[in-house]
Amino acid sequence: MWITRTSIKAPVFATMVMVALMVLGLFAYRGLGVENMPNIEIPAVEIETSYPGASPEQVENDVTRPIEEAANTVGGIKTIRSNSYEGRSSVGIEFQLTTNMDRAVQDLRDRIGTVRGGFPREVKEPVLFRQEGENSQPVVLLSLTSHERSLRDLSMLTEQVIVKRLQSVAGVGQIRINGEQARQVLVQIRPDQLRSLDIGIDEVMNAISATNANLPAGRISRGERENLVRIEGKMKEAAEFKRIIVANRSSGPVYLSQVADIQDGAAEEDSISRVNGERALTLEIAKIQDANTVEVGNGVKAAIEAMKASLPKDIQFRVLDDKAKTVQGQLDNVKETILEGALLTMVIVFFFLHSWRSTVITGLTLPISVLASFIAMKYFGFTLNFLTLMALSLCIGLLIDDAIVVRENIVRHLGLGKDHVRAAEDGTSEIGLAVMATTFAIVAVFVPIAFMQGIIGRFFLQFGITVAVAVLVSLFVSFTLDPMLSSVWPDPVETRFKYAPWLGRFMARIEHGIEWLHGLYAKVLAFALNWRKSTLAGAVLLFVGSLMLVPMIGGEFVPQTDDGFIQMRFKTPVGSSLDYSDAKLRQVEAALADSRKSRASRPSSAPGKAATTRK
């Protein structure tokens, strides 16, 4: 084989090629993103529209049906489903897998814009959400509490300072605040005063909206200079609202303070959050698409530590859930599994080849193939996730197969009396076709997995491509690096265990055990050849029985994992107040607290964490 002859004749060139693969693989590894699952574009869009105060029938007729009719004209739609609630419309649209989602979403926005003008005035602007799968979940769930500040002051500080600093972290996308109490100026109308002064409620509303606004006032030109003029009319203090003129009567102007009571209060709560029974604010911090989950989580925690030094001491941060830590832990476990598998593979190779040089020569295939796989993953836009690392851990045993076969045949030719160069070339060429057939058979198995249809195929694309690339690189290394090292690095058989005679005796026992296994296998093989029909019947029975067990195994889209976090959702009667829901949550929290106290005497592997959020 010309590639083998080239490597043997130019060992420096072959070595530099392998070094280049490893260096490029290391740089590619550093640039790979880290996620729990592959970042798959799910072809689905959710349209949420708020219609305050409307019944489900009104929402259905005024909002949901027009959106459905407008969306139905967009190409590539597979399914349209809708739900109309009290004061809210939800329309879900599923597209074909081959649909260009960027173009489809833009077309959908344009179609909705054509019917937006026909909605009632109270309908809010429709909001489109693209489904992004599991990776769209919050990376960090953070809580803020204070024993000295009111909830409103804590909400203002969170919105104006804390959220803005967290948004400056690289990769942070949306931050949703739960349990906040927003500041609101409350205008309590006095009906008797309105009637006595003959003032309508519409006059009061128009006066407030016209006065409390920043308005452009034109421009001033002076020579070559031109300045824009803007009137700052937004009121920052509640006392300023008292001086708003709502009407003019014969007795003079009527101020808002004469017909209403002004209070600097808080808006009505639409969510309540508590941590261990204490009122708090919870922040759900999500990442932008294609951002590194671990880097975003670490960046958020670093920003929190930096803010602790500048914010008041009474504000306490608590990380309730950290997906970055969970993902990093899972990936570390898979990496440890890969290293353990590689180490055990090397040990098995040493036991069978009885040579540490042969073990090193064949073992070099593992790091080169794995690192070269990172180059392909970077090129195709893959990430380090559950499936790609599972692919690498699965093919660890496959990567070294070709190298073992090549090295073993080279050693056999050395035993025939050939020199190292001739043995390396002849031994590789002799079994080259068989090794290629074996490798391409493995590739033929895994490549179709990468091109499966449906959403499952999108997930297993990274799995199949990663395995195929790693196996092909191992074939390349077996035909280049292994014969080159075998030709320049002789293996002295006579003095192999000169400095460790005990190891030679141990290897002799291993060889004796292998010979015993050979004898046992010969007996099993003789039985199978003598009883062919029985052997075939047993194989068919085993195959059919295995197929019958498939329905009993069950199936699911994503495997269930235990990350130490429990979430409970409760449904409340329609029309119930937030106080009613909060009272029910307090009962649940009390029951959980009693359960925790009853188990306090038992040993625990990790501290528990409890958090409830009601929206």
Q: Give the model's pLDDT for residue 342.
A: 79
Highest mean pLDDT, choosing among 223-237, 334-348, 464-478: 464-478
Q: Is the pLDDT of residue 146 over 80?
A: yes
AA identity, residue 569: R
CB atoms within 10 A of CB 216: 9
Determine whether 127 is exposed, middle or buried from the number of CB atoms within 10 Å of its CB (0-12, 13-18, 19+). Answer: exposed
Q: Which of these ranges, 45-54, 87-96, 169-178, 453-462, has the smallest mean pLDDT? A: 453-462
Q: Give the model's pLDDT for residue 569.
A: 66
Distance of CA 263 to the CA centre of its chain: 45
Instruction: Give the Cα separation of 391 and 470 in Å (integer).
Output: 9
Q: Give the model's pLDDT for residue 615.
A: 42
Q: Give the model's pLDDT for residue 23.
A: 93
The string of pLDDT tens digits covering residues 274-293 is: 887 788 888 888 888 777 78
Q: Give the model's pLDDT for residue 607.
A: 42
User: What percentage of the chain has pLDDT greater than the value 70?
Assistant: 89
Q: Is the pLDDT of residue 163 over 80?
A: yes
Mean pLDDT over 523-543 rounds to 92
Q: Give the model's pLDDT for residue 495.
A: 61
Alpha carbons within 13 A on the beta-carbon side of 418:
17
Q: Is the pLDDT of residue 135 over 80?
A: no
Q: Give the model's pLDDT for residue 537.
A: 94
Q: Give the model's pLDDT for residue 528.
A: 92
Per-position b or e across 462-482, b if 16+ CB within 10 A of its CB = bbbbbbbbbbbbbbbbbbbbb
Q: Which residue has the higher pLDDT, 475 or 137?
A: 475
DSSP-assigned letter for residue 118: T
State the chain's mean pLDDT as an integer: 81
Mean pLDDT over 553-559 rounds to 71
Instruction: Give the Cα separation of 523 and 519 in Å (integer).
Output: 6
pLDDT band at residue 564 using 50, 70 and 90 as cut-offs: low
For 93, the 3-state DSSP assignment is: strand
Instruction: Give the Cα separation of 246 and 79 in Å (integer).
Output: 52
Instruction: Give the Cα separation of 381 and 41 in Å (integer).
Output: 13
User: What percentage of the chain has pLDDT greater than the value 90?
Assistant: 8
Mean pLDDT over 468-485 rounds to 89
Q: Give the model's pLDDT for residue 614.
A: 42
**Domains in the chain, start-ordered, CATH in brackets?**
2-30+354-490 (1.20.1640.10), 44-131 (3.30.70.1430), 190-260 (3.30.2090.10)
pLDDT band at residue 582 using 50, 70 and 90 as cut-offs: low
Q: Which of these ranges, 28-32, 124-128, 267-271, 322-326, has the smallest mean pLDDT? A: 267-271
HEC per residue, 459-506:
HHHHHHHHHHHHHHHHHHHHHHHHHHHHHHCCCCCCCCCCCCHHHHHH
Highest mean pLDDT, choosing among 19-23, 223-227, 389-393, 417-421: 19-23
Q: Give the model's pLDDT for residue 544.
A: 92
DSSP codes, 255-266: EHHHHEEEEEEE
pLDDT band at residue 541 using 50, 70 and 90 as cut-offs: very high
pLDDT band at residue 136 using 50, 70 and 90 as cut-offs: low
Q: Give the model's pLDDT for residue 543.
A: 92
pLDDT band at residue 609 using 50, 70 and 90 as cut-offs: very low
Alpha helices in 134-230 (DSSP H): 151-157, 163-167, 191-197, 201-211
Q: Is the pLDDT of residue 160 over 80?
A: yes
Q: Give the model's pLDDT for residue 610.
A: 41
pLDDT band at residue 395 using 50, 70 and 90 as cut-offs: confident
Q: Give the model's pLDDT for residue 521.
A: 92
Mean pLDDT over 513-537 rounds to 91
Q: pTM, whole model, 2 decimals?
A: 0.69
Mean pLDDT over 338-364 rounds to 80
Mean pLDDT over 228-246 rounds to 76
Q: Is the pLDDT of residue 605 over 50?
A: no
Mean pLDDT over 473-491 rounds to 85
Q: Is the pLDDT of residue 430 over 70?
A: yes
Alpha carbons within 13 A on the beta-carbon side of 433:
1
Q: Which residue has the higher pLDDT, 356 or 374?
A: 374
Helix, strand, coil percentages in the chain from 3-state DSSP, rounded to 5: 55, 15, 25
Distance of CA 360 to the CA centre of its chain: 37
Highest mean pLDDT, choosing among 48-62, 249-263, 591-605: 48-62
Q: Is the pLDDT of residue 611 over 70?
A: no
Q: Give the model's pLDDT for residue 494.
A: 61
Mean pLDDT over 194-216 rounds to 78
Q: Which residue has the higher pLDDT, 274 or 471?
A: 471
Q: Give the model's pLDDT for residue 558.
A: 66
Q: Give the model's pLDDT for residue 20.
A: 92
